Structure 1
Amino acid sequence: MSDRFIFLLTLFSVVGSGLIAGLFFAFSSFMMTALSRIPNEQGINAMQSINVSILNPTFSTLFMGTALTSIALAIVSIIHWGEPGSLHLLGASLLYLAGFIVTIAFNVPLNDALAAVDPGSSTGTEVWNTYLRSWTPWNHVRTVTSLGALVMFVLALRSLS
């Protein structure tokens, strides 16, 4: 892999992890609080709509693409271990992938459970209350790992330039 290609993959990862961190930060800092303050049925409807709308090519390319570049850059960092930026590249990749795994293991199953309920039902209210208690802390983890990845990718990029 050429140095230029590694630089471009890292640059994509800087942008990807930064945008994802911003999205997660918005949910952690105000979106979930706002949704929890409106009537349950409205909060459920809004989150169900968000969870459907976010599954689009732009988000998927960014979220999954950054995971793929993180895998590639983790491998590159191991192959080039000891060279400038390799430690930052590995750290950034592992942080981003940790957040990605949290999404798959915790947030997506909670989203699926919420998608399956009738917003106006008592079951919907129970699921919503569990959702608010569980989804948000895991989102905080995703926010921190994405921000950490962003910082580490920037440090790696500085070493690669």
Structure 2
Amino acid sequence: MRTLSLAAATLATGLMAGLFFAFTCAVMPGLSAVDDRTFVGTMQSINRRILNGWFLAAFLGAVLLIGLAVALHLTVGGRVLAWTVAALALYAGTLLITIRLNVPLNDRLDAAGPVDRIADLASVRAAFEVPWVRWNLVRTLTNVAAFGCLVAALLSRRA
């Protein structure tokens, strides 16, 4: 059960790290080259459609699975527990950044309304793009670090 929970936590955390990494190195750089209307409309669409069962299962499942792995390794202690606790702290940072910073930016972008009715698309984009990209990079780093910790925990089980 310990190995299974740790492997599942690693998988879910890796899926989330990959998603955030894809936004960091492909989606947002690609969108930076488009006009304001395309940018705002595309991000509004992505922000609405990402709220689905697959995303939520990985996003929230990761923290639950890491917590389970920590709990199951409490009596064992050692390097596996240390790496898993570090992963939990880092992934908690990812959740905090997402919930406190990226989601409110998403909500403000959505509240601007349909692109056909936004008078100043450039200002809506400017208020969203730079801070969202910055915080996405930070959560990508915390999430990738959490994933790395979980890989180290798995490798420590074999050492």
TM-score where L is the length of structure 2? 0.89
Asked if 1:112 is matched to 2:98, the reply is: no
Q: Contact 1:25–1:143 (CA<8 Å) still a contact in 2?
A: yes
Query: CA offset at residue 16 of structure 1?
Result: 1.1
Alignment partner for residue 25 of structure 1, among 17, 21, 27? 21
Q: State the distance in 2 between where 1:60 and 1:117 align.
A: 25
Q: State the distance in 1 between where 2:86 and 2:24 align.
A: 23
Q: Contact 1:11–1:157 (CA<8 Å) still a contact in 2?
A: yes
* Equivalent residue runs for 1:121-132 within 5 Å: 121-132=118-129
4+ aligned runs moved over 4 Å, structure 1: none
Q: State the distance in 1 between where 2:72 and 2:120 align.
A: 48
Q: State the distance in 2 between where 1:62 and 1:140 align.
A: 19
Asked if 1:6 is matched to 2:2, the reply is: yes
Structure 2 gaps of 5+ residues are none
User: Partner residue of 2:63?
Assistant: 67
Asked if 1:136 is matched to 2:130, the reply is: no
Query: CA offset at residue 20 of structure 1?
Result: 0.9
Q: Contact 1:92–1:148 (CA<8 Å) still a contact in 2?
A: yes
Return the letter of the residue paired with 2:56: S
Query: CA offset at residue 96 of structure 1?
Result: 1.2
Q: State the distance in 1 between where 2:127 and 2:11 align.
A: 33
For residues 72-125 of structure 1, what are the alpha-carbon distances to aligned partners after superposition, in whole Å with 9 as ceiling and x for unaligned? 334445x33742411111111111111111100000000000011132423443
Q: Contact 1:114–1:124 (CA<8 Å) still a contact in 2?
A: no
TM-score where L is the length of structure 1? 0.88
Structure 1 gaps of 5+ residues are none
Q: Secondary structure at the match of 1:157?
A: helix
Q: State the distance in 2 between where 1:135 and 1:98 align.
A: 16
Return the letter of the residue paired with 1:157: L
Identical-residue share of aligned pairs (%): 33
Q: Contact 1:24–1:139 (CA<8 Å) still a contact in 2?
A: yes
